[in-house]
Chains A and B, each alone.
Chain A
Amino acid sequence: MRTLIISLIVLGLAIAQEIVSKKVDRVPLDPFDRAWEGASAVEVPLAGQAVTTPMELKPTVSKLIVKSINDGKYIGFLLIWEDKTKDSFHLVGQFSDAVAVQIPYKPSAEVPVTMGEKNSRVLILHWTAARQENIDNGYSDVPKVYPNYAYDWYPHSTPPYEYPKDWANQYALNYIGGEKVFRKNTLNTPVREVVAEGFGSSTWKDVQGAEGKGIYKDGKWYVVIKRAFVEENTSNPDWGPGKSTFITFAVWDGSNGEVGARKSLSYSWIPLKIER
């Protein structure tokens, strides 16, 4: 196992490149906006996560195309990868396609690429197709997933029992995870900001500002992740126009059972140069 990890890391280093975040006037959410055309595309090789259990030993996604632009206030990433199936639901025994970028709080390649460590935090911006589906086509509530379902009555909620609308009270929510879970599910963005200091430590941030949009077209996902360099009332990585930091990527193929630690990722930090 150790040999495998080392060889994967060496492999990663050998083909590590630089990503330049090109200066533009405005960072769009639309992956097909012309603003992306001037940015150079970098191909990032991905391999199955084989450092900690549970692993992904048979990943289906082996590369990711990355572009980055910034407008001085916001930075955006366009992420493109091939996926034969569009998996937009997170259901019983069924997972959603997803992509994430990881940036160290300190702009140093010394920060463990494996989701940081104590006192070396990383910021993860995590887009999922399931959250995009909620925004584009309404929340994946029971009637949407099981149109022929029947149920008599739910206590503390009110008909027609739509989630999230009719469940926004403490008593009804106590059955299904409480207020914080509800807030997490009802954010109007498909991208979630997460901080981590090691495997299994990733934690949803209280203040969420990242935005994004994903479109599935001709067997490929085109996903934009956008975040302000500096968000108010929360922690921010040390990055901005004219600075350099590092970045890595992870992709999940839902129909391959990929979720959480089961994913494809780029095994080493890639320098990210942000144009002024």
Chain B
Amino acid sequence: MAKAFNWQLKREINYPYEPKRPKRQFAVVMDLNKCIACQTCTVACKTTWTPGRGQEYMLWNNVETKPWGFYPMGWDVKLLELLEGNKKTVFDAPEGERVLGWKPDDLDWMYPNVGEDEVNEPVDIGTVLERLPHPIWMFYLPRICNHCTYPACVAACPRQAIYKREEDGIVLIDPERCEGYQECIKACPYKKTMFNFVARISQKCIGCFPRVEEGLQPQCVITCIGKIRLMGFINPPEKARPDNPIDFLVHIKKVALPLYPQTGLEPNVYYIPPINVPLKFLKQMFGDAAEHAVETYMAMREGKEPELQALLHLFGSTPRIPHSFAVGANEVIAFDETGKEIVRVPLVEPLQFRSHKDERLDVVRQDIP
């Protein structure tokens, strides 16, 4: 076992291979305050990548309702049991194993909509939701592969059929090396590798790498109608650039957090936690940093974080990958890798007023609400 530094845990973890960060690391930020579980991302991913034989049950992108939704069934409850909360990483494996994991069976995958729209507990008559966080709550959690810095799937595959790309950190399975042992499925704490029993290979989210190679954000990101997602490249904290949108959200403002960071994998999908949810639950899911993230987001709502508020306008505003951004008087501008402008988004749209009476024609307009 080698040692690898995990900045999310601020300590070294065990890892079976020598740690090596890629030149660039794929990362996505998702603002959970805005997700409405329309599943447009799920469908976009499904129709693009998994309409094949043996892929019927596969959702590389899924959206589940928390606290009662799971895909596969009970995945994070079982994970917390295995890790004894946050006492272990998945690399603290028992004798004979590479990774601490559990293997879902086929029925576990059959209920992607379980718990959908269900709140945490029954609502009493007369309950009023006045203050944040709410006593009665639920939220939607969209999930893709985390393209982890220290992937458990890579660690677990005895055939080294899974690799992490040097150029963008995307984690891929080589179908020609894969023999369908399903060690990756057992190992991945987020359960984002899936077995195709017809082709007899495991398959997973490919981070839409053909798009990323062209400087474009993935399908699930650009099709999001709630504009909750932004894909970019994240740097480790000591190399964080304030003008990199992902670095700004994760490292500078610390408003976007990894999911179950205690796994030790350094997952690279970062979530802005939902402010309606009690902190106890958010801390269990995103770690202690959830408190600061919620405070910052609340401050933004009061106008105290103008730069952060401006940056959120970039979400869903361009299909291209923003490498840096700048905030103007009433706009936010994104730039590509070469520094060329790719989009300019107004923060407040200009308002146009039309009176209900057209004085010139002396008629009343019918289309004014």
Q: Footprint of B on A, CB under 8 Å? A: 1, 50, 52-57, 89-95, 140-142, 145, 149, 151, 153-155, 157, 161, 163, 167, 172, 175-178, 180-182, 184-185, 199-200, 202, 257, 259-261
Least CB separation from A175: chain B residue: B52
B111 CB within 8 Å of chain A: no
Closest-CB distance, A132 to chain B (whole angstroms): 14
Question: Across the interface, which residues of A come within 8 angstroms of B178, CB to CB?
Answer: 177
Q: Is B214 among interface residues, defined by CB-CB distance under 8 A?
A: no
Q: Which residue of A lies closest to B160 (CB)?
A: A200
| Known contacts A93-B106, A155-B51, A175-B55; A163 and B97 CB within 8 A of each other | no
Count how many pairs of residues, one from A and one from B, have CB atoms less than 8 Å apart in the complex.
122
Other A-B pairs, 8, CB within 8 Å; known A157-B53, A176-B55:
A55-B95, A93-B103, A93-B108, A155-B51, A163-B53, A163-B198, A172-B52, A200-B158
Does B52 lie within 8 Å of A185, measured CB to CB? no
Q: Bound state CA distance, A54 and B95, in angstroms?
A: 9
Closest CB in chain B relative to A159 CB, distance in Å: 12
> Which residues of B are found within 8 Å of A261, using beta-carbon distances?
158, 181
> Min CB distance, A1 to chain B, in Å?
8
Q: Are B53 and A141 in contact (CB under 8 A)?
A: yes
A155 to B97, CA, bound (A): 40
How many angstroms between the C-alpha atoms of A154 and B198 in the bound complex? 14
- B3-15 vs A, CB cutoff 8 Å, 1 = contact: the mask equals 0000000000000
Chain A: which residue is nearest B176 at the CB level? A180
Which residues of the partner chain A approach B55 to less than 8 Å between Cβ atoms? 175-176
Cβ of A185 and Cβ of B105 under 8 Å apart? no
B188 interface residue (CB < 8 Å to A): no
Instruction: Known contacts A93-B182, A259-B182; decide if A145 and B97 are in contact (CB<8 Å).
Output: no
Interface residues of B, count at CB 8 A: 42
B98 & A53 in contact (Cβ 8 Å cutoff): yes
The answer to whether the Cβ of B163 comes within 8 Å of any Cβ in the partner chain is no
B contact residues vs A (CB 8 Å cutoff)? 49-57, 93, 95-98, 103-106, 108-109, 156, 158-160, 175-176, 178-183, 185, 194-201, 203
Q: How far is the CA of A198 from the CA of B105 in the complex (A)?
A: 31
Closest approach, in angstroms, between the C-beta of B184 and any C-beta of chain A?
11
Which residue from chain A places its CB closest to the CB of B105 in the assembled complex?
A93
Chain A residue with the shortest CB-CB distance to B173 = A177
Q: Is the CB of A91 within 8 A of B197?
A: yes
From B106, B185, B199, A181 is in contact (CB under 8 Å) with B199
Which residues of chain B are near A56, meaning CB under 8 Å?
96
Partner of B96, one of A50, A92, A151, A178: A50
Closest residue of chain A to B201 (Cβ to Cβ) is A177
Does B196 contact A177, Cβ atoms closer than 8 Å? yes
Contact partners of A140 in chain B: CB under 8 A: 197-198
Q: Of B49, B93, B181, which one neighbours A175 at CB under 8 angstroms?
A: B49
Give the complex CA separation of A229 and B294 in angstroms. 70
